[in-house]
Amino acid sequence: MMAIRYELIPDEQMDTVKHLCNELMAYQKSLATIRPELFDGMSFETRMIPSVKNAKANQIIAAMDGDELVGYVYSNVSPKEVYSNDFAVFFDMDSVKGSDVGCLSQFYIKDGYRSMGIGTVLFEKSKRWLDSYDGIDDQFIYVSNGNDAALNFYISKGFKISHQILDGFITVLRNTKSDSK
């Protein structure tokens, strides 16, 4: 019988999840059929470090099986402008009321630990943290093409498909607080 522990990882110790972050990038590339080469520049160094630095608040949660890291989720609250850059405009800036948005940014459970409920626990912890921010109306999740299991997982948790960007490379999921009230 496996007992999973959930631990908050301080931003300064984000290196803890580096290898799983890079596994996530490789996993997403392996599933993608639309522009998979866009993953080539994506790694812990180019995706996670800048994201943590540009955010107003971060939450990294690790799932531990004994001493082994078996999964993590990374969410943040950031100024909406960080989602309009040279790579893409992720959503219509004017459609967001406040100055900041929430994002469930990275989510990965190791093969062999999936479909056991660990993802649901991590998702709910992240969602609760994002919900606790007053004045943030919009939460986003960006799912790369080919990852229908993840897409369906988030839809089952209440997120809605908003639109696609980069020729369908990414599907943008959105949860707007005022919609659900």
Q: Decide if 172 contacts 163 (C-beta within 8 A).
A: yes
Q: Which of 38, 119, 129, 169 binds ligand COA (CB under 6 A)?
A: 119
Phi and psi at 88, nearest 5°, equal: -170, 160
**From 3-11, 46-54, 149-157, 173-181, span contacting ligand COA (CB under 6 A):** 149-157
- Map tokens 């994506």 to a residue: 42
Least distance from ligand COA to the Cβ atom of residue 124, Å: 9
In one-letter notation, the amino acid at residue 174 is R
Q: Which of residues 27-46 bind ligand COA (CB under 6 A)?
A: 27
Q: Decide if 45 contacts 91 (C-beta within 8 A).
A: no
93 lines the binding site for ligand COA (CB under 6 A):
no
Question: In sequence order, what are the beta bridge partners of 7?
Answer: 62
Which CB sits closer to ligand COA, 28 or 78? 28
Q: Report d(CA 56, CA 45) in Å as an integer.
A: 19
Q: Report d(CA 146, CA 97) in Å as an integer.
A: 31
Least distance from ligand COA to the Cβ atom of residue 147, Å: 5
Q: Which of 44, 74, 90, 107 binds ligand COA (CB under 6 A)?
A: 107
60 lines the binding site for ligand COA (CB under 6 A):
no
Applying CB under 6 A, the residues found at the interface with ligand COA are 24, 27, 107-109, 114-120, 143, 147, 149-150, 153
